[in-house]
């Protein structure tokens, strides 16, 4: 997404006031009063407000996390650092294709990052690595051919309040094919943007 800086309105320089005079002589106090002291304090105030706002945004909306492992290749590499949005699912629904962070069902102290493949009530089947959802074959362009596998899974109906997760690197991913669909309450963020390293920077899709 391209951002364009706001254009500045032209501002003319204000007229310079002549030094005050007392009894025909210049008031030396007025002549030597610092002209930019007020501007410095305004700059410091704006800096403090910006810093405080940044802390609030990171604390309540976004959280930096580090990827560990390669189950989400090719988009997310081991040790990539990214921001997750912790607030978005309070105002919008989880959708198929979202890359989410959740507490690992078998050990809530650990966190996993995977892609949402199926929603509650979906009919899901995997046939030699090909995902069928509600009777429709899924193209899954985010999974390169070299990362696909030949595993199969009998048809299931995803239970209410649960989401079926899979990694993009199918041949090595530990996901819902092993530990089952994930409860909604364990999902706490959506991956939105990789910020480091610079070569991987960009929106997570």
Strands (E), the chain: 21-22, 25-26, 62-66, 81-85, 99-104, 107-118, 123-127, 130-133, 136-137, 153-157, 162-166, 182-183, 187-196, 202-203
- Is 114 a catalytic site residue? yes
Question: How many Cα neighbours within 13 Å face the side chain of 157?
Answer: 3
Per the residue annotation, which of 50, 86, 114, 176 is the catalytic one? 114
- Is 110 a catalytic site residue? no
Per the residue annotation, which of 8, 54, 71, 190 is the catalytic one? 71
Number of H-type helices and E-type strands within the chain:
3, 14
Q: How open is the CA angle 59-61-63, to the nearest 5 degrees?
A: 60
Tell me whether residue 171 is exposed, middle or buried, using C-beta atoms within 10 angstroms of its C-beta: 0 to 12, 13 to 18, 19 or more. Answer: middle
Which pair of structure tokens corresponds to residue 19?
A: 């030094």
Residue 198 backbone dihedrals phi, psi, to 5 degrees = -60, -35
C-alpha span between 204 and 88 (Å, rounded): 15
Which of 146, 152, 181 has the alpha carbon at shortest distance from 165? 181
Query: So which residues are the catalytic ones?
Result: 71, 114
């Amino acid at each position: 997404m391209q951002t364009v800086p706001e254009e500045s309105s032209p501002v003319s320089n204000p007229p310079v006031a002549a030094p005050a005079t007392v009894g025909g002589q210049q008031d030396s106090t007025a002549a030597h009063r610092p002209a930019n002291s007020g501007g410095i304090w305004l700059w410091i105030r704006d800096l403090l407000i910006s810093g405080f706002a940044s802390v609030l945004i990171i604390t309540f909306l976004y959280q930096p996390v580090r990827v560990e492992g390669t189950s989400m290749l090719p988009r997310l590499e081991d040790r990539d650092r990214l921001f997750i949005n912790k607030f978005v699912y309070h105002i919008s629904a989880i959708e198929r294709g979202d890359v989410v962070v959740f507490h690992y069902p078998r050990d809530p102290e650990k966190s996993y990052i995977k892609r949402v493949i199926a929603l509650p009530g979906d009919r899901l089947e995997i046939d030699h690595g090909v995902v069928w959802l509600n009777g429709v074959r899924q193209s899954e362009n985010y999974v390169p051919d070299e990362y696909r596998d030949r595993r199969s899974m009998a048809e299931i109906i995803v239970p209410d309040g649960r989401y079926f997760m899979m990694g993009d690197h199918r041949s090595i991913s530990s996901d819902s094919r092993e530990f089952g669909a994930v409860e909604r309450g364990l999902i706490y963020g959506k991956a939105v943007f990789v910020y480091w390293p610079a070569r991987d920077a960009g929106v997570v899709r």
